Structure 1
Amino acid sequence: MVLVLDGWRIDLPSRRAERGRRSVVLSPRAIRLVQVFAEAPGETFSRDTLLNRVWPEVTVSDESLTQVVSELRRKLDNRQLVATIPRGGYRLAAPLLREAGASGTTTRAEGLVSSIDAYALCLEARSCLGRAYEGALRDFTALASQAVALAPDDGETRALYAMALLKRHIYWSEGTGLIDSALIEAEAAIRRAPDHAEGYLATGAAQIAVGQRAAGQREIATALSLARGDAQLHLEAAIHVMAAGNHRSAAALAVRAADLDSAGFTGDLLAARYLERQDPARAHIHAERALRKIRAELEIDPAALRALYGLGPLLAQLGDAQGARAVLDSLPHQNSPLEYYRALGFARLGDVSSALERIDFLRSRGWRGFFSIDADEGFRPVRQSARFRRLQRELMSA
Structure 2
Amino acid sequence: MTINDTFVWPTGFYTDGVQAGLRDKNDMGWLVSKVPAAAAGTYTTSQFVAAPTKLCRQLISTHHRLQAIVMNSVIANSCTGQVGWDNALAEQAQVAEKLEIDPELVGVASTGLIGSQLPMQKIHAGIAALQLKQDVGVTTAVMTTDTHAKIASTQLLIDGKQVTITGFAKGSGMIHPKMATMLGFVFTDANISGLQLQGLLSASVDETFNQITVDGDTSTNDMVTVMANGLADNHLLTADHPDYAAFAAALSGVLAKLAQGIAADGEGATKLVEVNIHHAATHAQAQHAAKAIVGSNLVKAALFGDDPNWGRIIAALGQTSVKIDVEHVAISINGFTLVKDSLAVPFDEATVKQAMTSHKLTIVVDLNAGDADGQAWGCDLTYNYVKINASYRS
- Please tell me the TM-score bracket, short chain as reference: under 0.3
Bigger radius of gyration, 1 or 2?
1
TM-score of the superposed pair, with normalisation by structure 1: 0.26
Higher relative contact order (CA 8 A, sep 6+): 2
Greater strand share, structure number: 2
